Amino acid sequence: MRCAVLGDPIAHSLSPALHRAGYAAVGLDWTYDAHRVAAGGLRAFVEVLDPSWRGLSLTMPLKREGLELAAEASPVARLAGAANTLLIVGDALHADNTDVPGAVSALRSRYDGPVTGGTVLGGGATAASMALALCELGARSITLLVRSPGRAADTLAALDRHPGRPQVTVGSLADDPVVGDVVVSTLPHEAQSEDLVERCTRVPVVFDVVYDPWPTPLAASAADRPLVTGHDLLLRQAALQFERFTGLGAPVEAMRAALPQH
């Protein structure tokens, strides 16, 4: 059987190493590769897949596109408005989102304290999943800091669908405060300005979903605080994808061993 990760850019992805390590650990003769697919190109990619294909992992900028293409979607994918996982069943695509439960698991692996509120930096599909994960952990207030309010529209819609109906504030990345128990950054390395990092210093827990290049400026500033890394998130969400694709329990430690050491 064949699986792959799709996105643009994609050359940096560690997903092939993780999934291949998992297959080897359980004795599956499956393949998992990376394919560069630009925005708008997902439909053309899936239309030519043959019956040997089982699953697709989706990264930027395909997560919302993946949900739109699927015949069925899990409750969490519908809640997030985005799919990072497509299961291929016959001629149909089933959408799922392992980012939300993966983020919950990743954060709890590094921090067991209260999460009453938090700030998410960025407003894309990953930001929506991270904000929902904070809600799942008990956050009653979410602050979204974005370059422009329009970037937060889909994330706002996702949070409005959450049964906890958190209080949501939209602010500017340029100068608004970072508040709460956790700050989650979905921003690339180059967007983490010195001033923004300084505004994050009073938040007790840092969660940076980026893992290449590492460390990010935000991660480097968190030496004295709990730090949840992009590797933590990648491992936890990939383990859930592995289970969706194969129907087997994920060999988490074998998959963890395939990650580069920071």
Instruction: Please pick, among 20, 54, 63, 199, the residue that the annotation labels catalytic.
Output: 63
Residues in a beta bridge with 42 = none
Neighbours of 14 (CB within 10 A): 19
Name 48's Cβ contacts closer than 8 Å, sequence gap at least 6.
none
Taking the C-alpha atoms of residue 40 and residue 53, their distance in angstroms, rounded to an integer, is: 21
CA angle 158, 71, 37 (to 5 degrees): 75
Q: Torsion angle, CA of 175/179/185/188, rounded to 10 degrees?
A: 10
Tell me the H-state helices in 172-229.
194-199, 217-220
- Does the N-terminal peptide bond of residue 188 adopt cis geometry, omega within 30 degrees of 0? no
What residue has token string 């799919």? 83
Identify whether 186 is a catalytic site residue. Answer: no
Return the active site residues. 63
